[in-house]
Each structure stands twice: as structure tokens, then as C-alpha cells.
């Protein structure tokens, strides 16, 4: 649980004061100069050194230090998605203001039914604590199935306004791109911006996780013709200009054949005399066919074509081979620091959304904060009066936070209520940033696979009415048993399943009691108490071969000790560093807690954790030539597996 960090509290108040003041400057059409802000912006002293907080200047120090602090604050505000506009005033000084619509989408009013399905959807598939979860749900947010990025805010806004975008992008090199956005495509949980390269007719896809700078929404507008939009919606990450279809035949056991037939509905199967099953599948390219055989690893034996056998043999020969740099010379970026501005705005928006206000205890629970921390933040918001003297009082300042105490004489111990007081409906700000609309849209679409409720589609329609039709999602197609698993969760049932774990060849019987379902990286997972193992386990739904029986869950089970069970794989095990070519990043980017750095020779290094060495073996098998483990303990990862597959050819 987050607690008070004295070193950042004055920074928090200065940032929130600055962002709200610059938004007011947009409304008042009166840009504020740096000189005005530095001279007049006052905040409460913290820690408090007297009986009550005294006002101090937000920017103090020599001219150089003040300017650096002001520029850092502007950069942090821009990193949240706000567009700070600079204006040359009549006296040739520079003024600043923020267009609130650069960060916030128009307000959307959901019905009670729609709010309920939004709550369900955000639990099923959302950003987790970084997103809109705590604005809608009373419980604290856990981990999220969608990869969070502040970059969605300008991307979704540019799609709505049909305006060009400029951003730095990491491919073989990190360089600036200027594009005309057409659609956000989500494939297997990975988001791509599909756009037209500005000044050309070329349609390209840009992985959101490889954008390396906050996208800038340019003034240039563009028209979206039906032909370009059709090409953008047909774009795929494995797109080839000249597809070369290939038919692949493999043999496997009955169990794995069943999984393949559900994953590839058009596949053909034939029972062989030796008890094996022959499977025939068509792929759009040899690259996709090779990927299929590698993912199956030892579970299939490739029969044809011969050309694919030769490609496979060459690939296996290069698994985890090459020269890796010394780990000691690599410098990885650490985890993102806590975003105090974003955290404060989330608290503020939760209060805006609650008609009757929210108590300190409620806010503390939702946002996993200490009550004392919530009190500190919200008290400062309710008493915020920056530049009151130069702006004729604090009434012009748009925080609108009112505090109500049950016991004013014991204010420090009272579970006070904070609520928003709006002069009129036009004064009410939207609680949604543009990126929130992306999160809600994807989460609702994913949830529609489990929940049959008309409110899901009406909520999606309201989002689309505000943001236009800006996203398409390729949902999982091989999770035919998902609805039955969800019913077991809802009815608190115990189910007997036939399950094929990880890279195993044979299925195993498990007796489980499902408790929660979430989506991660395009796959649906269920958290359940496994009575077979007498422990909490996580199961991937598409690996359940069959549900053989069900019955009411009986005795109470021990509590689940995993707080963030969905991504706990990234928190334990051995640390591993792998050096790869830029084209192989897509294999490692979905790994929870992965950290990256770029090497001078154009390669990339990724650091992550593995608790199962067989997982690393198969990961290096998929990466193939051009990827090498730099961690000495795992320098031979994948070698034995590659040899065993070669022996089958």
C-alpha cells in the first residue's frame, strides 16, 4: 500500500496547481507567462513546520534552477497526454495554456446497467491500477491484462480529429515518424497503430509499445478515403505484399490434435494406424508455417513439405548461438516511477464521478493508499488557492473539491467525505482521458465473449459516438469452453477438466473451483483452487480439452496469497538477459516486467525473470538465429530441445 513520501508532496501540489491553472487559462483565453507563474504561484508548505500550513512560492531558487524546474514540470504534464500551447503575447513574452480537450474526451454518461458492465469489463480486461478501474470499482485495482501507455491519449485524439501524428519509433533504429492515423488494431492482446505515412499512400503498422516519445498531434488534417481505411483494417502484423500459401502436414497424438482442431477450425484430420493423428493446415506464408511448427515443438512431427523441413533444420541450428556482451556493461531502464500527477487526477475524477462524494476510507481502498495519504492529498486539493491574489480569489480555480466532516473537532481522525461542487452542468469536467476510451472499448469487447448483456453494446456505442470508430479487435477464437468456465465462476461450481499444461504432450485430469477470469496478451486465464494439487493455480482456457463434470463447490478453501496472480510469473524465478535482433522484440515484449536497452550494434537486450527453465528453452526455440542468452547460467538454453526436434526430422 502506498504511503506518504515527503519528498514528492510539494512537487505533487505544484504540478496539479500548474496543470489546472493552465487549463483555466485556456478557458479564460488568457495565457500565463512563466514570469507570472514563478512570481505568483503559491502552494502549502510540506512538511508543515508551524501550527498550520503556510503558503510558500512554488518555484524558488536562482533563475537557472527555476527555469529547469518549470521545464521539467511542463515535460511531466505533456507525458500525461496534455498539449501545452505556447502563445506569443503582444509584448513579445511567451504565454502558456492547456487545451483540456487534448487530454480529456467529452463526457460520457453511462446508465446504471452500463456502469455495471463497465465494472465487470475492467476487472476482466483493463489497465489495472494505471487505468480507469478505480473510478468505477470500489475494490482496489489489481494487475491489468492490457498494456498501459499514456501514448493512447494523443493517438485516439488524432484519430478522432483526423490530424497527423509525429512520434519517435524504435525499429532497427529509433527515428521520428510522421503519419496519418487510420485505426488501432489489437491482435492477440497487442496494439498497433495502423497509419498512412504522411505524403505517401503507404499503409504501415506501428506497435504502440515501440513508440518512444509522446506523440504530438499536428495541425495538419487529412481525409480518410474508403480504400485506405479498408487496407488499414485488413493489415496484419505478418502482412506480406506477395503472400505465398503453404500446406503443412504434421502427425501428433490424439490429445494435441484436439487442441489444434479447435485452434485451426479449417484444419483436416485423419486417424493413422499407429494411433497417431495426421493434421493438414494451410498457412498464408512459410514464415507462419515455421512459427506453427516451432510453437508445437516436440508435440508434432513435420511430414511435409520438404522445403519447410530444410528451413526448420537451418533455424534449429542457430538456436541460442552467437556472441553476447557482458551483462555488467548493460544498463536497463528501471520501472516507471510513481506518477503523482496521474494519481492525483485519478483521485479527483473518482470524486467527480460520485454524486454523494467519497470518504477517505473508500478512496484509500480503491487506490491502495494509506488513509493519511488520501487525507493529505485531498485536503490540499480542497484548500488549493494558487495565484489567488492575482486572479481575484480562488473561485476561478477549477478544483471544486468540498470537504465534509462528521466531527470537525477531531478532523485529523475523521473519515471525511470529499465531493465535487459544480456551478452548472457545463462546469463539470469529463472524468475520461482519451486513453480511457481505448481501455473501456477493448475491455467491453473482450467481456462480450463472456457476458451476454445488451448494456455492453450500448456502452460501446456511446464510446464510439464520442471517439468515432477508432479500434478493431481480433478476439480469441479457440476458447470454446470459456462460457462454461465463466458459469462455474458465477455459480461457485467445481468442475473436472482435461487440461494440457504448457508444452506437455498429454492432457491431465484436474478438479478445480474457478474463482476469477482475466485476459492477458490475447489469452484468457482462470484462477482456481485445484483440489488435485490442493493449491491455487492459474489455467489457460484454450488449453482445457474438455469439461467432464461439474458439481456445487463444497468446503471452504484457503485464501489465495497471490495478489496479482495474472502477472506473478514476472515477479519470481531467476533473472535472465537475452540479446536479440530488433525484429525479434515481439516475442519478448509481452513478458511481464520485461526491461529493455539498446546496444551500440543495433541489437536489443531484454531482462526478465523465469521460474521454469523449459519455458526459456521454448522461448529461445521461437526466437531462433539472432537471439542469444547473455546470462551464463542459461547459456545453453534451447540447445537440447533443438537437438531432439532435429532428430525427428
300-306: average pLDDT: 94
**Percentage of the chain with pLDDT > 90?**
45
Q: What is the pLDDT of residue 390?
A: 53
Q: What is the pLDDT of residue 243?
A: 63
pLDDT greater than 60 at residue 397: no
DSSP character at residue 228: H
pLDDT greater than 60 at residue 371: yes
Q: What is the pLDDT of residue 138?
A: 85
Q: What is the pLDDT of residue 1?
A: 47
* pLDDT tens per residue, range 531-583: 998 999 999 998 898 999 999 988 889 998 887 788 765 556 789 999 999 88
Q: Do domains 327-334+569-648 and 482-563 have the same CATH topology?
A: no
pLDDT band at 238 (very low <50, low <70, confident <90, very high): low
pLDDT band at 341 (very low <50, low <70, confident <90, very high): confident
In words, the CATH class of domain 482-563 is mainly beta
Axis crossing angle, helix 6-28 with helix 340-353, rounded to the nearest 10: 60
pLDDT greater than 60 at residue 242: no
Q: What is the pLDDT of residue 580?
A: 94
DSSP 372-438: HHHHHHHHHHHT--TTTTTTTSGGGSTT-EEEE-S-GGGGGGS--EEEE--SSGGGPPPS-BHHHHH
Return mean pLDDT, the chain.
Answer: 86
Q: What is the pLDDT of residue 610?
A: 85
Pick the CATH number of 327-334+569-648 from 3.30.70, 3.40.50, 2.40.128, 2.60.120: 3.30.70
Residues 6 or more apart whose CB falls under 8 angstroms from that of 146 comprise: 125, 126, 127, 131, 189, 191, 439, 442, 443
CB atoms closer than 10 angstroms to residue 527: 19
pLDDT greater than 60 at residue 20: yes
pLDDT band at 335 (very low <50, low <70, confident <90, very high): very low
Alpha carbon distance 632, 610 (integer Å): 14
Q: Please, is 544 exposed, middle or buried when counting C-beta atoms within 10 Å of its C-beta (0-12, 13-18, 19+)? A: buried
Q: What is the pLDDT of residue 343?
A: 82
pLDDT greater than 70 at residue 334: no
Q: What is the pLDDT of residue 611?
A: 78
Alpha carbon distance 253, 259 (integer Å): 10
User: Are 133 and 143 contacting, i.e. CB atoms less than 8 angstroms apart?
Assistant: no
Cα–Cα distance list, 542 to 306, 358, 504, 517, 538 (Å)? 30, 41, 14, 13, 12
CB atoms closer than 10 angstroms to residue 390: 11
Q: What is the pLDDT of residue 252?
A: 94
pLDDT greater than 80 at residue 590: no
Q: Is 143 left (phi over 0), alpha (psi -120 to 50) or beta?
A: beta
Alpha carbon distance 81, 152 (integer Å): 8
Give the range among 48-52, 285-289, 398-402, 461-465 with minimum mean pLDDT: 48-52
Q: What is the pLDDT of residue 129?
A: 82
* pLDDT tens per residue, range 82-129: 999 999 988 888 999 998 889 989 888 899 999 999 999 999 999 988
* pLDDT tens per residue, range 126-166: 998 888 888 888 888 887 888 888 899 999 999 999 999 99
Residue with cell 453511462: 110
Q: What is the pLDDT of residue 278?
A: 95
Pick the CATH number of 246-317 from 3.40.50, 3.30.1380, 1.10.15, 3.30.70: 3.30.70
Amino acid at each position: 500500500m502506498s504511503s506518504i513520501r515527503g519528498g514528492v508532496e510539494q512537487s505533487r501540489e505544484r504540478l496539479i496547481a500548474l496543470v489546472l491553472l493552465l487549463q483555466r487559462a485556456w478557458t479564460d483565453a488568457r495565457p500565463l507567462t512563466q514570469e507570472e507563474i514563478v512570481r505568483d504561484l503559491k502552494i502549502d508548505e510540506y512538511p508543515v513546520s508551524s501550527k498550520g500550513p503556510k503558503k510558500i512560492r512554488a518555484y524558488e531558487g536562482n533563475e537557472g534552477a527555476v527555469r529547469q524546474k518549470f521545464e521539467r514540470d511542463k515535460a511531466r504534464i505533456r507525458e500525461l497526454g496534455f498539449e501545452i500551447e505556447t502563445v506569443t503575447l503582444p509584448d513579445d513574452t511567451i504565454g502558456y495554456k492547456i487545451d483540456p480537450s487534448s487530454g480529456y474526451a467529452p463526457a460520457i454518461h453511462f446508465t446504471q446497467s452500463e456502469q455495471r458492465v463497465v465494472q465487470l469489463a475492467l476487472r476482466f480486461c483493463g489497465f489495472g491500477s494505471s487505468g480507469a478501474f478505480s473510478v468505477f470499482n470500489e475494490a482496489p485495482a489489481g494487475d491489468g491484462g492490457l498494456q498501459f501507455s499514456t501514448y493512447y491519449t494523443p493517438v485516439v485524439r488524432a484519430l478522432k480529429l483526423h490530424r497527423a501524428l509525429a512520434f519517435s519509433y524504435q525499429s532497427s533504429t529509433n527515428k521520428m515518424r510522421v503519419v496519418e492515423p487510420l485505426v488501432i488494431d489489437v491482435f492477440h492482446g497487442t496494439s498497433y497503430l495502423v497509419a498512412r505515412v504522411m505524403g505517401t499512400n503507404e499503409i504501415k503498422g506501428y506497435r504502440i509499445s515501440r513508440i518512444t516519445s509522446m506523440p504530438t498531434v499536428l495541425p495538419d488534417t487529412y481525409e480518410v478515403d474508403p480504400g485506405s481505411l479498408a487496407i488499414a483494417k485488413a493489415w496484419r502484423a505478418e502482412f506480406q505484399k506477395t503472400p505465398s500459401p503453404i500446406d503443412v502436414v504434421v502427425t501428433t497424438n490424439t490429445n494435441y490434435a484436439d487442441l489444434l482442431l479447435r485452434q485451426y477450425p479449417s484444419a483436416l484430420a485423419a486417424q493413422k494406424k499407429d494411433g497417431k493423428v495426421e493434421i493438414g493446415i494451410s498457412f498464408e506464408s512459410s514464415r507462419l508455417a515455421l512459427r506453427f511448427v516451432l510453437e508445437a515443438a516436440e508435440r508434432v512431427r513435420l511430414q511435409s513439405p520438404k522445403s519447410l523441413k530444410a528451413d526448420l533444420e537451418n533455424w534449429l541450428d542457430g538456436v541460442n548461438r552467437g556472441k553476447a556482451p557482458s551483462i555488467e556493461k548493460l544498463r536497463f531502464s528501471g520501472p516507471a516511477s510513481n506518477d503523482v500527477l496521474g494519481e492525483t487526477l485519478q483521485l479527483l475524477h473518482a470524486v467527480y464521478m460520485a454524486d454523494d462524494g467519497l470518504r477517505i476510507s473508500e478512496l484509500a481502498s480503491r487506490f491502495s493508499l494509506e488513509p493519511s495519504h488520501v487525507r493529505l492529498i485531498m485536503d490540499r486539493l480542497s484548500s488549493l488557492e494558487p495565484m489567488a491574489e492575482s486572479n481575484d480569489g480562488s473561485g476561478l480555480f477549477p478544483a471544486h473539491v468540498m470537504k465534509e466532516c462528521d466531527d470537525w473537532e477531531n478532523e485529523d481522525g475523521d473519515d471525511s467525505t470529499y465531493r465535487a461542487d459544480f456551478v452548472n452542468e457545463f462546469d463539470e469536467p469529463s472524468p475520461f482521458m482519451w486513453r480511457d476510451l481505448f481501455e473501456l472499448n477493448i475491455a467491453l469487447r473482450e467481456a462480450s465473449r463472456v457476458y451476454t448483456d445488451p448494456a455492453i453494446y450500448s456502452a460501446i456505442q456511446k464510446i464510439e459516438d464520442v471517439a468515432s470508430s477508432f479500434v478493431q479487435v481480433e478476439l480469441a477464437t479457440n476458447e470454446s469452453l470459456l462460457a462454461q468456465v465463466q458459469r462455474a465462476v458465477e455459480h461457485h461450481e467445481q468442475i473436472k477438466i482435461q487440461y494440457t499444461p504448457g508444452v506437455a504432450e498429454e492432457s491431465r485430469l484436474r478438479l478445480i473451483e474457478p474463482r476469477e477470469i482475466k485476459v492477458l496478451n490475447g489469452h484468457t486465464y482462470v484462477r482456481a483452487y485445484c483440489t488435485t494439487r490442493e493449491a491455487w493455480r492459474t489455467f489457460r482456457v484454450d488449453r482445457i480439452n474438455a469439461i467432464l463434470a461439474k458439481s456445487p463447490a463444497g468446503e471452504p478453501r484457503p485464501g489465495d496469497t497471490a495478489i496479482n496472480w495474472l502477472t506473478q510469473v514476472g515477479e519470481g524465478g531467476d533473472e535472465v538477459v537475452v540479446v536479440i535482433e530488433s525484429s525479434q522484440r515481439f516475442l519478448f515484449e509481452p513478458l511481464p516486467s520485461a526491461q529493455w536497452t539498446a546496444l551500440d550494434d543495433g541489437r536489443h537486450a531484454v531482462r526478465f525473470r523465469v521460474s521454469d527453465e523449459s519455458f526459456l528453452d521454448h522461448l529461445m526455440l521461437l526466437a531462433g538465429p539472432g537471439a542469444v542468452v547473455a546470462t551464463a547460467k542459461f547459456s545453453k538454453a534451447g540447445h537440447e530441445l533443438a537437438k531432439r526436434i532435429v532428430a525427428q526430422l
